[in-house]
Structure 1
Amino acid sequence: MVISFEQRTPDKEKKCQFLQEQFQNCGFERMIFTIHPYGLPNEIPAKCSNSNYGLRMAVKEMNIADDEMDNILVTTCDADSKFLPQYIAALTSKYLKENRPALSTIYQSPLFYNWKLDGLSFVTRVTGLLRSFLMLGALIPFNINTMSIFSFPLSLTKKGDFIHPGYQMDDIICLIRWMGVTQQRLRISIIPVPVLSGPTSGETIEKEIIKWARQARRWTIEAAEVFHYFVIKARRMPRIAACSWGIAFIIYYGVLLCTGCLFGLTTTLSMTFLIKNVPPVISYVMYGLLALQMLTFSVAFLIDAFIPKLMHVDECIFIPRNLFHYITTPFVLLGYSFVEFYALHEVVIFGKKVCKHGASAKGAL
């Protein structure tokens, strides 16, 4: 196990000692602690540069030969991650059953944000449920991107020159970077074991919503930064792979998460206040689309009814409260779209200056 700290982390020596004592009898062959130096050229102080440095130091210390790297899988995670005991076995089994696709596949476990999620506001809970649902229904099956906690062969990492230390979204940047060096669109294979992740939290509902908006803004700005990186690197990729991934990325982040809800809102307002004598068939289509949307949202809540039990998470959500969260889902998604719309204009106007990482507060976990 490799644990990487930043040089400016307070009490890092004590933390290393504490973690050594906590995990020394947990079955790891060895524990490697790395300290990422502050102020290295062309690097930013974030998870991306820390992971890049930690991986490089671990490979060097373990003296791993290139022909052995196909047999080593790396899993990157966050501090607010809880893995089920079956994770490593499921990952290994999937990798072997797929005949060790070392240079073509990245592995993603479904992330569920049920870490004390029942104690948070409807805004945070609905967002968490939708993120998990969209990961299962879009990000993984359409090979759009991995998200924060994922696994990959070490040989793919080495071929792609490890992790870019200058971009915040290391998960998507890795995918783009590695597509360039392998000259193919990488496949994201699902690991059939969920991982528990922590949602954004706050001391009060007001603070929680403010931090939720900041988090949504940060994700959007980083996604825009990622797309800029992709546009630069796309010329080095096969055209079909680059075009197919770029279109999927735009549809997901640009249409589904941003403009889709705004288009629905403006269409509804124009039909209500501006357009006279709307044909009945148009009204029926609009109502049908709304019903289809709510039916889709219900799948996310249905999944949430089973996942906490599967992950042994104790939650207390009564039916009236769950129904209220379900009804407010389109409004939460609309609010998210407004934040995205604002953030995209920030990027257009201010450029790189707004591409800064602000970690989300999770003090309630």
Structure 2
Amino acid sequence: MINIIKTHKYWRFVEGIPGGITLFLLIAPIILSIFKPIWVSIFITLYATMWLFRSIRLTINLAISYTRSKSFLKTDWLKMIAYSDTPNKLNYDIKALKKRKNFDSNKYEELTNLKKQIEKLKNANQYKTSADIVHAVIYVTYKESYELIRESIKSYADNTYDTKKIIIVFSGEEKDQKNALSYAEKLKSEFGNKFMDFIITIHPYGLLNEIPGKSSNATWGAKRLKDYLDEKHIKYENVVISNFDADTVTHENYFAELTYLYLTNENRETKTYQPMHFYHNNIWGVPMLIRLTVLGCTFWRMADSVDLKIYKSFSSRSMSMQMAIDTDYWDPAVIPEDSRQYWTYYFLSNGKHELVRIESPLYMDAVSANTYKETISEQYKQLRRWAYGVCDLPFVYFNMRANKNIGIFEKVYQIFFLMENHIMWSTAPIIITFTGWLPGMLNPGFRDTVMAYNLPQIISFLLSIAAIGVIACAVMTFIFIPRPKNKPFLSYVGLLFQWLFIPFASIFLSAIPAIEAQLRLLFNKKLEYQVAPKVRK
């Protein structure tokens, strides 16, 4: 059994490294601009070049991700499940397809690949049918409105998949017990007969070694689910659990696609099934800066999803009940429960943990409070909480060091990417916006040099090309955001021009929250979990 390391005498030191590097990268150019302006000029040129390559990568991967998603959303997942359940029917249709005059090569390839996969599963003694599979939604809530909660539960009840195979575990918080129980009973009365079962539970406040938040509540709900499964004698490996936020609305085919992917993946219980998140639920009702921020997050995640080596668990996602038990559910003492569970199973499986991308998306709410000022403040806090995921670094580092079954190149790659991702998050917008002008401003003698004359032009040229990433995001905005009937077509013009404010949003609603998160870890000022308000207007 692999021992997971959760503490070390140098834990605090490693935890503070990202904050230290960020401070150095932000302060050093100011000091060096006075004494070594050429060094700063070379640094910002290399940094802008790196940003250019990241922007090109974003654009290419965004196009790949969109093309793939568009194709898969047309799939009849119920029909594919039927093929997986009845290989004889699959074989018959493959033969019939070959005889057709209007031969569909893409469909033929899809079905023959499924046939090969079924044979592999049978040879590995891993073949199952959909009759074996049960779904469970761990639905955690704290002070959300009834309207928001009902919309989420209704989307699960309206899925195309057989909802009689879905268990709802409605887990409220003790500090909101009155509302949670009232809402749960109303929803059970309205939708309970559509599900296999509707379990209501309340997570007690102040349990030992817990911090209040999604992780501790979801763990409580999952343990109640385990008791239920034991009572019903349902095997854990046949149960797919989805850990959802309160505002999570599923695409109508979500559970059908998830079932198909679970059935057709080898070693299915060792994988995490990760959907994309689109903040469509209230996207037209939030301030421009909020809309810009969540769209930027969405498109960045879409681009990352093309490379499963760097794509990590985030927010609402699905997995086997067996995996949840193996990882001891979600660590109730940490804030980033999604990434921490990913890394825990990564080490338990000696680096073999894989993510499977789900094309049927989840629809979420962007942050929305009662006033504009409160909304901006709460968005800042949410981004700070997301950026606090850098606290995984000591967990990853010490477990990488202790695990002898993971290759050295894999260790270096994963640690480097974790560091690079968070440090670019906290520094890139500020360095790119301001550093290019520092040598000339702070060193009068440098102003008359050829490099001082060329530097702004070089940086401007590189960033102009890098703007292709912003243009790609602007185009994707038109494609991905459905226009409500009460909004004229010209309202899309506002969505286009909002991207002009990306430098402002990147600094104040992305980089600065990330800097604060890293400095909190550097100076041991722990962050408390705060639920982002989702007020519907």
Fold conserved between structures, TM > 0.5: yes
The DSSP-based 3-state class of the residue aligned with 2:176 is: coil
> Structure 1 CA distance, aligned partners of 2:313 and 2:486?
27
Mapping of residues 345-364 of structure 1, within 5 Å: 345-349=519-523, 351=524, 353-364=525-536
Alignment partner of 1:249 out of 410, 418, 423: 418
- Number of equivalenced pairs: 357
The residue type equivalent to 1:230 in the other structure is V
Q: Which residue of 1 aligns with 2:512?
A: 338
How big is each residue's C-alpha offset from its partner over 1:168-194, in whole Å with a ceiling of 9 and x where there is no partner?
111111101111211114222210111
Greater Rg over alpha carbons, structure = 2
8 Å contact kept, 1:143–1:187: no
The residue type equivalent to 2:364 in the other structure is S
Relative to structure 1, the CA distance from residue 315 to residue 217 in structure 2 (aligned partners, 3 Å threshold; closer, same or farther) is farther
Alpha-carbon deviation of 1:305?
1.5
Q: Which residue of 1 aligns with 2:386?
A: 219
Q: Which residue of 2 aligns with 1:261?
A: 429
The DSSP-based 3-state class of the residue aligned with 2:193 is: coil
The residue type equivalent to 2:298 in the other structure is S
> Structure 1 CA distance, aligned partners of 2:375 and 2:328?
38
The residue type equivalent to 1:163 in the other structure is W
Mapping of residues 104-119 of structure 1, within 5 Å: 105-119=271-285
How big is each residue's C-alpha offset from its partner over 1:324-347, in whole Å with a ceiling of 9 and x where there is no partner?
311111221122212322332232
The DSSP-based 3-state class of the residue aligned with 2:175 is: coil
Alpha-carbon deviation of 1:126?
0.9
Relative to structure 1, the CA distance from residue 9 to residue 132 in structure 2 (aligned partners, 3 Å threshold; closer, same or farther) is same
The residue type equivalent to 2:393 in the other structure is F
The DSSP-based 3-state class of the residue aligned with 1:44 is: coil
Q: Which residue of 2 aligns with 1:270?
A: 438
Mapping of residues 194-205 of structure 1, within 5 Å: 194-205=361-372
Alpha-carbon deviation of 1:314?
5.8
How big is each residue's C-alpha offset from its partner over 1:52-84, in whole Å with a ceiling of 9 and x where there is no partner?
121122112221899933332111111111111
Relative to structure 1, the CA distance from residue 297 to residue 97 in structure 2 (aligned partners, 3 Å threshold; closer, same or farther) is farther
> Structure 2 CA distance, aligned partners of 1:219 and 1:124?
15
The DSSP-based 3-state class of the residue aligned with 1:20 is: helix
Alpha-carbon deviation of 1:323?
3.1
8 Å contact kept, 1:147–1:172: yes
> Structure 2 CA distance, aligned partners of 1:138 and 1:244?
15
> Structure 2 CA distance, aligned partners of 1:262 and 1:7?
42
Alpha-carbon deviation of 1:49?
1.0
> Structure 1 CA distance, aligned partners of 2:311 and 2:233?
28
8 Å contact kept, 2:174–2:205: yes
> Structure 1 CA distance, aligned partners of 2:232 and 2:182?
33
Alignment partner of 2:461 out of 281, 288, 310: 288
Alignment partner of 1:72 out of 227, 236, 239: 239
> Structure 2 CA distance, aligned partners of 1:50 and 1:155?
19
> Structure 2 CA distance, aligned partners of 1:346 and 1:295?
34
Alpha-carbon deviation of 1:302?
2.0
Alpha-carbon deviation of 1:239?
4.8
Relative to structure 1, the CA distance from residue 37 to residue 140 in structure 2 (aligned partners, 3 Å threshold; closer, same or farther) is farther
2:470 is equivalent to residue 297 of structure 1: yes
Relative to structure 1, the CA distance from residue 25 to residue 236 in structure 2 (aligned partners, 3 Å threshold; closer, same or farther) is farther
How big is each residue's C-alpha offset from its partner over 1:233-262, in whole Å with a ceiling of 9 and x where there is no partner?
33344254443222222222221x111122
8 Å contact kept, 2:520–2:527: no
How big is each residue's C-alpha offset from its partner over 1:76-117, in whole Å with a ceiling of 9 and x where there is no partner?
1111111111000111122233335321x2111110112221
> Structure 2 CA distance, aligned partners of 1:230 and 1:313?
44
Q: Return the structure number with greater helix share.
A: 2
Q: Which runs of 5+ in 1 are unaligned?
A: none
8 Å contact kept, 1:179–1:185: yes
Q: Which residue of 2 aligns with 1:123?
A: 289
- Asked which structure has the greater RCO (Cα within 8 Å, sep 6+), the reply is 2
The residue type equivalent to 2:504 in the other structure is F
> Structure 1 CA distance, aligned partners of 2:368 and 2:229?
38
How big is each residue's C-alpha offset from its partner over 1:282-333, in whole Å with a ceiling of 9 and x where there is no partner?
5554223312332112222222222234xx8668462442233111112211
8 Å contact kept, 2:436–2:456: no
Q: Pairwise CA RMSD of aligned residues? A: 2.5
Give the TM-score taking structure 1 as reference length: 0.88
Give runs of ≥4 in structure 1 deviating > 6 Å.
Answer: 64-67
Give the TM-score taking structure 2 as reference length: 0.62
The residue type equivalent to 2:176 in the other structure is T
Give percent identity, aligned residues only.
19
The residue type equivalent to 1:355 in the other structure is L
The DSSP-based 3-state class of the residue aligned with 1:102 is: helix
Q: Which residue of 1 aligns with 2:499?
A: 326
Q: Which runs of 5+ in 2 are unaligned?
A: 1-167
> Structure 1 CA distance, aligned partners of 2:321 and 2:407?
26
Q: More deviation in 188-197 or 290-299?
A: 290-299
